[in-house]
Amino acid sequence: MNKYILIIKKYLLILVCFLPLISCEDLILGPDPENTPTNNFNILWKEFDRYYPSFIVRNIKWDSLYTCYSSRINNDCTDKELWQIIKSLLYNFNDGHVTIYNTNSIYYNSSHRNSNEYEFNLDVVQSIYLDRNFHSAGKGNFTYGRFPGDSIGYLHIAAFSGLSDWAKDIDNIISGLSDVNTLIIDIRNNRGGHVPNFSYIAASFTDKDITFRKEIARNGPKHSDFTSPVTQTISPRKSSPNFTKQIILLTNRVTASASEMFALFFKQLPYSIQIGDSTSGSIGLIRGFQLPNGWLYEMPDGLTLTMDDKSLEGIGVVPDIYVRNTEEEIFRGYDRVLETALEYISGWKK
């Protein structure tokens, strides 16, 4: 009997010890962070200080910015005032992957680079240059066809987003364009998306392994604390068709994020050249956070480097031939970037 009494006492003691943990969430998770303007600002500043990977390459003096902007904060600030102060702070990043969203469905992105999405219009390409001889695939992400004469193919990729298998449509597209001599791949105004999608598509344009970028991430309190580099390699799919003839990649300043990784990959191909403007200079993936007041914000999850350890943050992937459309030219139905590509191809033929 004494044995069973001891066992019962033992389990009662365990229950008493763990009862506060079961019944009191605060003892497990801690109290909710204080929802005051000052605390919201400080949390945001500290999270960026700990995780943002590009302070050094973008030459951001984060401590000095804290001194400047924290002096404007007190607990009597309205939401509108706090929003304006945080916007002013984030403006200093000029990073397309730094964004804040408030609870009124309003957001602010810190990028203020000279980019204009109206310098490209797919309708102009379809109606004037392809003479409406085009097709759509990949849930609308692919537009492809041939220019008059049939020896030059065209493929526009609108985005790399989405979690479905739409990217696999590239196999049929490559099969259908296998007889062209040159393929123009257009990723202008492609703001990025998911790495698996661009990786699957990129594999259609190589017949050997291509290691094309490195990635590092913050792993300590110092702005110089980083993990060891992890490389990304694109390997051809042996069971799928590929295109390894002449390729021209078209880019502009709206080409961003995963699309810039795509452009980096093509830099490693000896049969590819890039024409247009530099890409956005916001390369990589994002991670999200939430403030006590419910506002959400994002920052880059890591820092992408070229194979010779250079960061392209704030610079972008630079084209081999620089040319830029104007909005007025596009309005008139003239695509100077595409015209330059076609002229370059005519020089190849001579």
Question: 121 with 253, same domain?
Answer: yes
Q: What is the pLDDT of residues 245-286, one digit of tens each?
A: 999 999 999 999 999 999 999 999 999 999 999 999 999 889
Mean pLDDT of 102-113: 91
Spatial distance between the Cα atoms of 289 and 100, rounded to a whole number of angstroms: 9
Find the mean pLDDT for residues 300-311: 96
The β-bridge relationship of strands 210-216 and 182-186 is: unpaired
Single-letter code of the amino acid located at 172: N
pLDDT at 133: 84
Residue 301 resides in a domain: no
Q: Among 81, 109, 137, give the residue marking a domain's end.
A: 109
Stretch 223-241: mean pLDDT: 96
pTM value is 0.88
For the segment 318-343, the average pLDDT, to the nearest whole number, is 97
Query: How many distinct helices (H) and strands (E) make up the chain?
Result: 11, 14
What are the structure tokens assigned to 182, written together?
């040159």
At 253, which CATH number? Answer: 3.90.226.10
Computed over every residue of the chain, the mean pLDDT equals 91
Spell out the residues 6+ positions from residue 230 whose beta carbon is closer than 8 angstroms to its own. 214, 215, 216
Of 92, 109, 126, which closes a domain? 109
Residue keyed to tokens 């995963």: 258
**DSSP 3-state of 67:** helix
Is residue 236 one of the residues assigned to a domain? Answer: no
Partners of 288 in beta bridges: 298
84 lies in the same domain as 142: no
Q: Within this chain, do residues 195 and 82 fall inside the same structural domain, yes or no? A: no
pLDDT over 90 at 3, yes or no: no
Q: Which token pair is 185?
A: 């791949």
80, part of any domain? yes
How far apart are alpha carbons 94 and 316 in whole angstroms? 13
Same domain for 74 and 132, yes or no, is no
Residue 112 is predicted with a pLDDT of 83
72 in any annotated domain: yes
Flag whether 228 is in a domain.
Answer: no
Residue numbers of the domain that contains 268: 117-207+242-280+320-349
* Total domains present in the chain: 2
Q: Whole-angstrom distance between the N-terminal and C-terminal Cα of the chain? A: 102
d(CA 314, CA 37): 30
- Residue 67 pLDDT > 60: yes
For residue 88, pLDDT over 50 is answered with yes
What pLDDT is attached to residue 32? 84
Say if residue 121 is in the same domain as residue 202: yes
- The Cα–Cα gap between 296 and 287 comes to 11
Residue 14 has what pLDDT? 35
With contact defined as beta carbons under 8 Å apart, do 141 and 155 qualify? Answer: no
More confident position, 38 or 285: 38
Residues 258 and 343 in one domain: yes
pLDDT higher than 80, residue 5: no
Mean pLDDT of 220-238: 97
Based on the fold, state whether residues 100 and 201 are members of the same structural domain.
no
